Structures are given as structure tokens and as C-alpha cells.
Amino acid sequence: MEFDLIELIRQRTAQPRDDVRLGIGDDAALLAVPAGQELAVAIDTLVEGVHFPRGTAAADIGWKALAVNLSDLAAMGASPAWALLALTMPSGDAGFVEGFVEGFSQLAQPHRLALVGGDTTRGPLSISVAVHGFVPPGKALGRSEARVGDAVLVTGTLGDAAAGLQALQHPTPGEQGDIKLRDYLIGRLNRPTPRLAAGIALRDQAHACVDISDGLLADLGHICVASGVGAEIEAALLPRSSALLGLHDDTTALRFALSGGDDYELCFTVPASRVAQVQADLSRLGCGVTRIGRIVEGEGVRVRGHEGDWLKTRQSGWEHFA
């Protein structure tokens, strides 16, 4: 049974690449890192009931398990090549595996990512994906090089995934229009878009970059700690989708945008003189980008409210407004 499942996974994820000398089927994969490239490697685990709600569609789990990892490569400015998949599930459920690899492949294929191996075991539903990507030496985007005076920007919109999770957890009968907005937000939760092209475009532009998995305050906070700087954010500038604003009042939408996790947008810093160029470059890639604040001396992330007052926030979450 386990071997049938592995064969199913192998067939449904087939992706020919010259740099895969040996893929699924032996004791280990054999891979050739292209000359003159550094290898960027990341791994993330999704556990049912912790990282996605019980009842999430198998295809959505497959997409997201890969997406959260590709987002880490995007945040480094790396281009993806290979993945490993450790799949733990309660039973040898071929239907689940079919759905899972369908969602996984929908994201893997356009990026020419090859699944080169993994592990299949029995236990509570849990998925680990490891990804490998390439980046030219010295070009990777870290967290530690943000400088005082840099502008802080984010891709896409913030808070959608947190609002999507709330929509799943508190299903209320809504108007037809509301249902569309809720579906949009739930889609942002289940099928995040890793900003790979944006990350590559930022290689020669950004001083520091992080992907937003735990919420803007927490993740921008990581850049601040690593770089030994502070950041000032303008609440009024935070990009929020019409779906988020259509379903929530401004206070709730702001809370989601600042502290909600799972958006997988990029937050990065660039010298103020490069903002226009970066906005043009990312727009050309079809990736929205918004300047939300700046890097300052000191430490921590401060958020200025609509009246120019500083909001009472906590780096790892959210307390309340002043």
C-alpha cells in the first residue's frame, strides 16, 4: 500500500529537470547544484488542527504545504528547484493523497519544482515539505541589513488570511455578496501565493526581507532585531483588500493587518531613493507593493494611528488601541 501511494505521488508530480540525476525511488536523491549558485534550503511542517483546520480539503493542504516553503525561498530571493515531502497520515488514504498531490502540483508545476523524495508514515495528519532553491553567491536577502532611513514596503494586502480563518471558524449566514468576500478571504488562507518573482526582483534592491507568516508586527520585528534598528509604520498606509474592509470595521481590519498570520506576503526594506524603481519593477510582475513606513534608530515596531497617535501594540500580537 505504501509503495502504491509513493508511486502515485511520483507519477502525479513528475517534473523533468536536468539537475535531478536520480529522483524518487532509490535510498536518496542525487542532485546537481548548478555551478556558481548557492543552495537555499528551508523546511516547514503543517499539523492538522494547528496549522490548518480539520476538514481542510486535501488539495488545499497540498498547495499550502508547498506554498509556505516557497514563501521562505521568496523571502531569500532564491529560485526554487527541488522539494522533499514527509507525509504522515492516519491511514493509507489514496483519495487524500490524490487530492494532496493535485494541489501540490498546481503550485509546483508553474515553478518547475521537482519532488525528488520523501517519507510516508502512519500517524496523526502532518506534512513536512523541505525545499531547495538557488541564489547567486552574496545575493540572498537576509534580515540583518536593514538601515536607518530605509523605506519599509509590503507586497499584496495584509490580514486576509486571518479574516479567512475567522470566516471558517464563525460561519454566519450572509448576503450573496458577503459569501463572495468570505470565499475570497478563505482562498487567501488556503491558497497563499508565494512571491517568488518579487523576491528575485528584489535581490539587487532590498537591504532586508522577510515573509509574513506570523503577522506584520512579529515578522518586521524580526528584521528590526536582526538589523539592530526600529521601524515606524503608518496604520493608514497598510494595504487591505476590499474583501477585508467589506466584512470588517476599520479597527478589526487593522488588527488583522498588523497581527494576523498566514498571509505569506513579503515585507522588505529599500533605500528611500529606490522606492519608485522597486514599485515599477514589482508592478510589472503583477505584484502589488505598498510603502508602509520607514526604518529608524532604536528598536521595535511602532504604529502611528490615523490621528498621528502611537497605537499600543505588542510585537508578538496585539493588545488594544490607546
Q: Measured from the CB of residue 61, what is the shortest distance to ligand ADP in angstroms?
A: 13
- Of these, 37, 45, 88, 120, which contacts ligand ADP (CB under 6 A)? 120
CA distance 81 to 142: 20
Residues 32-61 that bind Mg ion (CB under 5 A): none
- Of these, 70, 85, 189, 220, which contacts ligand ADP (CB under 6 A)? 85
β-bridge partners, 152: 269, 293
Q: H or E stretch including 279?
A: helix 275-284
Assess contact for 287 and 195: CB atoms under 8 A.
Answer: yes
The 8-class DSSP code of residue 24 comes to B
Q: Identify which of residues 124 and 317 has a Cβ nearer to ligand ADP in the complex.
A: 124
178-208: string of b/e by CB count within 10 Å (b at 16+)?
eeebbebbbebbbbbbbbbbbbbbbbebbbb
β-bridge partners, 121: 88
- Of these, 18, 27, 297, 307, which contacts Mg ion (CB under 5 A)? 27
**What are the backbone dihedrals phi and psi of residue 245, each rounded to the nearest 5 degrees, phi first?**
-75, -25
6's contact among ligand ADP, Mg ion, none, with CB below 5 to 8 A by partner kind, is: ligand ADP
Residues 237-256 that bind ligand ADP (CB under 6 A): none
- Of these, 24, 40, 68, 229, which contacts ligand ADP (CB under 6 A)? 24
One character per residue 201-240, x = contact with ligand ADP (rule: CB under 6 A): ----------------------------------------
- Of these, 115, 151, 154, 289, which contacts ligand ADP (CB under 6 A)? 115
- Of these, 4, 119, 250, 319, which contacts ligand ADP (CB under 6 A)? 119
Q: Identify which of residues 18 and 27 has a Cβ nearer to Mg ion in the complex.
A: 27
β-bridge partners, 135: 38
Q: Identify which of residues 128 and 241 has a Cβ nearer to ligand ADP in the complex.
A: 128
Q: Measured from the CB of residue 30, what is the shortest distance to Mg ion in angstroms?
A: 14
CA distance 254 to 67: 25
Q: Measured from the CB of residue 27, what is the shortest distance to Mg ion in angstroms?
A: 4
Q: Identify which of residues 29 and 220 has a Cβ nearer to Mg ion in the complex.
A: 29
Assess contact for 256 and 158: CB atoms under 8 A.
Answer: yes
H-type alpha helices, 196-308? 196-201, 216-227, 242-247, 250-259, 275-284
User: Residues for the chain: how many in total?
Assistant: 322
119's contact among ligand ADP, Mg ion, none, with CB below 5 to 8 A by partner kind, is: ligand ADP
Comparing CA positions, the residue from 255, 258, 254, 282 lying closest to residue 270 is 282
- Of these, 61, 65, 87, 89, which contacts ligand ADP (CB under 6 A)? 87
Residues in touch with ligand ADP (CB under 6 A) = 6, 9, 24-27, 85, 87, 115, 117-120
